[in-house]
């Protein structure tokens, strides 16, 4: 699997978590991985289990979900968090986690990947919303170096 496919799997897991926030995260991950299959119905759970990005992203988002949601709320002043789709919120959580905690991923890569995920998995307009929230966060924190821009 390439990084984009692994990121999509992490997004699916984060999205699934939004429905089961009271569940044990490790058990939830095990259940997800036992049933995760690629388009050729090949079970690829071992590959995902061994991928550092996948497990770091999933457990990282879950562990920092309150902080990530506060950032989303502060950057979406015109939108109540109840109006943000679960898919968009999951995409934003993942991208913000990458930007804040995964320093080996350039900010612009995280933003571009989030936009592509929104185009693929959410409504037509959602990618502009996702891009706007991430852009607002980056401008407010000045976290991307000039060489990344």
Q: CATH number for the 3-141 domain, one of 1.10.1060.10, 3.40.50.720, 3.40.50.920, 1.10.940.10?
A: 1.10.940.10
List, in sequence order, the alpha helices (H) in 36-64.
45-49, 52-63
Q: What pLDDT is stored for residue 17 in this prediction?
A: 86
CA distance 114 to 93: 10
Domain ranges of the chain: 3-141
* Bridge partners, residue 37, by sequence: 43
Residue position matching structure tokens 């821009």: 149
Question: Looking at the chain, how many residues does it have?
Answer: 149
Query: Tens digit of pLDDT for each residue in 33-64?
Result: 666 655 554 556 667 777 899 889 999 999 99
How does the average pLDDT of the chain come out, rounded?
85
Global pTM? 0.84
The residue whose two tokens read 């109006």 is: 83
Distances, alpha carbon 134 to alpha carbons 24, 25, 59, 71, 93, in Å: 29, 26, 21, 10, 10
């Amino acid at each position: 699997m390439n990084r984009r496919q692994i990121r999509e799997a992490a997004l699916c897991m984060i999205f699934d978590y939004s429905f089961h926030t009271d569940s044990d995260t490790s058990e939830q991950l095990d259940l997800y991985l036992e049933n995760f299959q690629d388009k050729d119905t090949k079970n690829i759970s071992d590959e995902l289990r061994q991928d550092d990005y996948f497990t770091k992203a999933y457990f990282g988002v879950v562990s920092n979900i309150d902080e990530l949601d506060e950032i989303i709320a502060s950057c979406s002043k015109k939108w109540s968090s109840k109006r943000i789709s679960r898919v968009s919120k999951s995409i934003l959580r993942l991208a913000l986690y990458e930007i804040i905690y995964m320093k080996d991923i350039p900010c612009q890569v995280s933003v571009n990947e989030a936009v592509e995920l929104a185009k693929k998995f959410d409504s037509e307009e959602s990618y502009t919303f996702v891009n706007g929230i991430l852009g607002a966060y980056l401008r407010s924190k000045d976290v991307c170096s000039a060489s990344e821009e």
